[in-house]
């Protein structure tokens, strides 16, 4: 798709004047200023690290293939979608843990262990077992809210159409880049044609001057007209190239800003729902604490003397003590 790197013009006049300093360079059919010969360009959005300022040149991936700056931006969008999906899967695993934990708590609360404990300690123990059932309910509610308020939004944010939208962006910018490549090829063809015409005119003129040829003035005029026409063709091709590059530039700025906006929205969405996760987690801790308050109160009321009194009253066998036997 892309052309090779070339510096500025390659016309004979340019080649003849070795002292002319190149101010522009074409890389993969896109023309850039030479940084050492021109003042540094001002960023479109200074101090913002905006997408529209830092993705104009191409790069090589690990396999050596050319990747455009716009493709890097699209890969960021698709990676963000994947990260969002993996976060939702992580929350789903958290929900499973909560559901399993609640199930086990509820099951444990019904175990008849130490059910025969009596008195104030027996009341406290019964309340502790009941608190497990209450805590299980808290964790079930927590898992349910995680599903509806965290996992589901992460899964459904930008659904199946998102990748289609990214492909539309990709095709749109790629088409403009292909047009730019085509325009650049036309410029190079016209540049070569001009060089050939200029060389032909130069040779005929020299032959006429030293009378090595019987070329007439008419032949010289014809060669000059072709050279002039070739120059006009080159100017037209350069103008079309610049129009194509300007259109590509404008669409790159607009589209990269749209992608930047999408990324901000994605991050803020995830931030919002992860905050909801921490809120629900804090609420769960609070509710769990409330299930222990009755247990704490009954534990504070545990009275060994009272328990002894209650147990003796229920299980006593007699309060008459033995005495000495009479003769």
Q: Strands of the chain (E only): list them.
A: 6-7, 24-27, 30-33, 59-60, 66-67
Number of Cβ within 10 Å of residue 248's Cβ equals 21
291 in a structural domain: yes
Q: What are 191-219's pLDDT values in tens digits?
A: 999 999 999 888 888 777 766 555 567 78
pLDDT attached to residue 203? 84
pLDDT score of 9 more than 60:
no
Of 303, 321, 323, 305, residue with least CA distance to 313 = 305
16 in a structural domain: no
pLDDT score of 20 more than 60:
no
Range of the domain at 278: 60-298
286 in a structural domain: yes
Token pair listed for 241: 């190239």
Q: How high does pLDDT run on average in the chain?
A: 91
- Distance of alpha carbon 75 from alpha carbon 166, whole angstroms: 9
- Distance of alpha carbon 84 from alpha carbon 219, whole angstroms: 72
Size of the chain in residues: 327
Token pair listed for 99: 């559901």
CB contact at 8 A, 149 and 280: yes
Q: What's the order of all strands across the beta sheet hosting 6-7?
A: 6-7, 24-27, 30-33
- Distance of alpha carbon 82 from alpha carbon 93, whole angstroms: 17
- CATH, residue 208: 1.20.1270.60
Banded pLDDT at 39 (limits 50, 70, 90): confident
pLDDT score of 5 more than 60:
no
36 in a structural domain: no
Whether this prediction's pTM lies above 0.85 is answered by: no
189 in a structural domain: yes
pLDDT score of 242 more than 50:
yes
Q: Which residues contact 93 (CB under 8 A, 6 or more apart)?
A: none
Coil/strand/helix, residue 26: strand
Q: Looking at residues 60-77, what average pLDDT do you find?
A: 95
Q: How many CA atoms, within 13 angstroms, populate the side-chain half-sphere of residue 206?
A: 6
* Residue for token pair 């099951």: 107
249 in a structural domain: yes
Q: Looking at residues 134-161, what average pLDDT do you find?
A: 95
258 in a structural domain: yes
pLDDT attached to residue 35? 76
Of 76, 69, 39, 38, residue with least CA distance to 54 = 69
Backbone angles phi, psi at 64, to 5 degrees: 90, 0
154 in a structural domain: yes
Environment class of 276 (CB within 10 Å of its CB; exposed 0-12, middle 13-18, buried 19+): middle
Banded pLDDT at 168 (limits 50, 70, 90): very high
pLDDT attached to residue 207? 73
Query: How many folded domains does the chain comprise?
Result: 1
Of 254, 220, 181, residue with least CA distance to 30 = 181
Q: Give the CA angle between residues 69, 74, 79 to the nearest 5°.
A: 125
- Among 31-40, 97-106, 116-125, 318-327, the minimum mean pLDDT is found in 31-40
């Amino acid at each position: 798709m892309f052309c090779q790197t070339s510096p500025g013009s390659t016309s004979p006049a340019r080649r003849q004047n070795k002292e002319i300093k190149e101010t522009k360079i074409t890389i993969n059919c896109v023309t850039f200023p030479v940084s050492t010969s021109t003042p540094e360009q001002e960023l479109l959005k200074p101090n913002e690290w905006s997408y529209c300022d830092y993705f104009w040149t191409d790069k090589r991936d690990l396999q050596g293939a050319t990747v455009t700056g716009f493709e890097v931006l699209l890969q960021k969008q698709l990676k963000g979608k994947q990260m969002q999906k993996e976060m939702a899967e992580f929350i789903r695993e958290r929900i499973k843990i909560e559901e399993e934990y609640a199930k086990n708590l509820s099951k444990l609360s019904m175990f008849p262990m130490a059910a025969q404990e009596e008195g104030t300690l027996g009341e406290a123990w019964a309340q502790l077992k009941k608190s497990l059932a209450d805590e299980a309910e808290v964790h079930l509610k927590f898992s349910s809210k995680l599903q509806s308020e965290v996992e589901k939004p992460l899964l459904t944010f930008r659904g199946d159409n998102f990748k289609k939208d990214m492909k539309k962006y990709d095709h749109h910018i790629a088409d403009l880049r292909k047009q730019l490549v085509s325009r650049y090829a036309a410029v190079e063809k016209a540049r070569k044609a001009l060089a050939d015409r200029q060389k032909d005119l130069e040779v005929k003129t020299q032959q006429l001057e030293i009378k090595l040829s019987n070329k007439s003035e008419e032949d010289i005029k014809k060669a000059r007209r072709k050279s002039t026409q070739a120059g006009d063709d080159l100017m037209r091709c350069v103008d079309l190239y610049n129009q194509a590059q300007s259109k590509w530039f404008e669409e790159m700025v607009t589209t990269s800003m749209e992608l930047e906006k999408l990324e901000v929205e994605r991050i803020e969405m995830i931030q919002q729902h992860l905050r909801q996760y921490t809120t629900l987690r804090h609420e769960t801790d609070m509710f769990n604490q409330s299930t222990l308050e009755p247990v704490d109160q009954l534990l504070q009321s545990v009275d060994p003397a009272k328990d002894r009194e209650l147990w003796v009253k229920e299980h006593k066998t007699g309060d008459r003590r033995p005495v000495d036997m009479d003769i």
